[in-house]
Structure 1
Amino acid sequence: MKKVLIVAVFFLLTMVIAACGTSSGGSSSEGAVETEEGYKLVKKDSFSFASSGEFKPFSMTDGSGEMSGFDIDVANAVAKELGLEPVQHKQSFATIVEGVKNGRFDVAVASHTITEERLKEIDFSIPYYFSGAQIFVRPDSDIQTLDDLKGLEVAVSRGSTYADLMSEVTDNIIYYDSDVVALETLNTGRHDAVVTDFVTGREAIGAGMVLEGRELLERSEQAIGVAKGNDKLLEAINEALQKLRDSGELAEISEKYFGEDITTDPDDQ
């Protein structure tokens, strides 16, 4: 009897381990609802999107937990074009891609830069805005360029492309869940520099932080993330974004938050 029990327990453990291994690989559409258009959605008639809520003015969270901001307005506008009800989910930035990949959310609308590494995990729409990384420091800093950051303490957002960029320059990297929090700590005297999106840094300075932007490090394209295999939804999102761009609504959303259009490719201006 004891031997039979041991065998049974071993069998159950084997099944659990196998199940865990299966769930970790690739994009998951298990439990997804497929629409007449061929979209795979978490919930019928809904556009479930994730954003961090901690990346002002792209996404901000009020006292009730509701998010607002540029990314949120873009997500709402795309949902309207698709005839779906927008459903927002506040999620730590570093975990959003995995959430889309595993089917927790339909899409990520969280200022994700298109990178080769992320393209291995999910697909991306056409860009909905254009930006780039910049070094931000206190006014009394001698730091000017990327080379000046070698060996210094640099704060970045966890899971961002800026973290990857800084890993090639210094081992002394401090991670935060929010770019804004990183800038706030720099403003209070901690760290040597912060590397973040130049629009975010400029907004922080405009809000009263005593910081300065130094070298611009790269140009980037930000897009909506969609799970691999959800091709019809990706195609529809691309069509919606192009329509919003052609109508001028995308630029209007940008003007609302930044006072300028960051949605047009600089090469087309």
Structure 2
Amino acid sequence: MKRSLTLALLAATALACAGQAARADLLDDIMKAGKIRIATDLAIPPSGMIDGAMKPTGSDVETAELLAKDWGLQLEFVQTTGATRIPNVQTNKADIIISTLSVTPERAKVIDFSKPYAALQSVVGCLKSVEAKSWDDLKGKTIAVSRGTTQDTTLTNMKERDLKLARYEDDATMVTAAVSGQADCVASSATIVSQIGVKAPARPFEPKVSITNFDLAIGVKKGEPKLIEKLDAWVEQNLKNGKLNAIYKKFHGTDLPANMRG
């Protein structure tokens, strides 16, 4: 009886280990397929957007293209929003995320991150004519935010600030609200804040209050150590050779932080 129980336990352990090994082979599946599916938001210029020829472009787009080229893979973009980026990899609709994905402790509980490949300055930006130099100055003002972003989470948790938030489904809708006059303040990246004035020169926005700075990394579902290791090596190599910095500077107008550059 004891021997049978021991054999049963060993068999169960073996099956569990085999299942775990199978789940940790996403990299092998990608390389065998010769294609990588990357979740990227194409409505957050200049990180992701559609150009006049209806082709994807932007810093995240070119980062994804460089990765696929270096690995010798066909690239398939999985269009996403801030709120659907993580579910896309959790449900196997995408292999990885390259879409202004900030590294946060909350997200690290549900997905894994590569080494950071870029950075994001998170701010509350308002019309230049709005007087706002501190959080106290923002009391009573409605701040537009894209649902599911780090800005949404951070400002929601700042209950002591008594902030009024207007949530939009994605960054494109939020920017449209600012351009059309529906919102005089937005919580987003400093880059997106500057883009509002490009789209509507009569309504120039500028950063008013800093929220925080975030590292941007490639997101992968939990339990894929081989894929993370390969991504880390790729990021490190392309920071050292300057390619990732060149992409960032091309679209954002500034270099990556000095501590990230090789």
Indicate which of 122, 134, 138 corresponds to 1:133: 122
* Structure 2 match to 1:178: 170
CA spacing shift, 1:227–1:188, aligned 2, 3 Å: same
Structure 1 residue runs without a partner (length 5+): 1-27
Backbone CA RMSD of aligned residues:
2.8
Normalising by structure 1, what TM-score?
0.78
- Alignment length (residue pairs): 238
1:224 aligns with 2:224: no
In structure 1, C-alpha distance between the alignment counterparts of 2:261 and 2:230, rounded to whole Å: 23
Instruction: Identify the range of structure 1 (229-238 vs 186-195) with the bigger mean alpha-carbon deviation.
Output: 186-195
Instruction: Tell me, in whole angstroms, the C-alpha distance in 1 between the residues paired with 2:107 and 2:24.
Output: 25
Q: Is 1:205–2:194 an aligned residue pair?
A: no
Deviations 1:85-139 (A, max 9, x none): 2111112321110111121110011101001111111101111111221121112
Distance 1:141 1:219 in 2: 23
Pick one of 239, 245, 251 that aligns with 1:251.
Answer: 245
CA separation of 1:105 and 1:268: change in aligned 2, threshold 3 A? closer
User: After the TM superposition, which of the residue ranges 90-99 and 172-181 deviates more from structure 2?
Assistant: 172-181
* Percent identity (aligned): 25
Change (3 A) 1:268 1:76: closer
Q: How far is the alpha carbon of 1:57 from its aligned partner?
A: 0.6
Hey, what does 1:58 align to over in structure 2? 47
- Aligned partner of 1:199: which letter? T
Report the Cα distance in structure 2 between the residues aligned to 1:268 and 1:146, rounded to whole angstroms. 32
Q: TM-score, normalised by structure 2?
A: 0.80
Q: In 1, Cα distance between the equivalents of 2:74 and 2:113?
A: 21
Q: CA deviation at 1:32?
A: 7.9
- Residue 186 of structure 2 corresponds to residue 194 of structure 1: yes
Contact 2:122 2:213 in 1 (8 A): yes
Structure 1 residues 101 and 265, CA gap change in structure 2 (3 angstroms)? farther
* Residue of structure 1 in register with 2:139 after alignment: 150
Question: What are the within-5 Å matches in structure 2 for residues 17-56 of structure 1?
Answer: 34=25, 38-41=27-30, 44-56=33-45
| Matching residue of 2:101 | 112
Give the match's secondary structure for 2:132.
coil
* Mapped contact 1:40–1:233 kept (Cα < 8 A): no
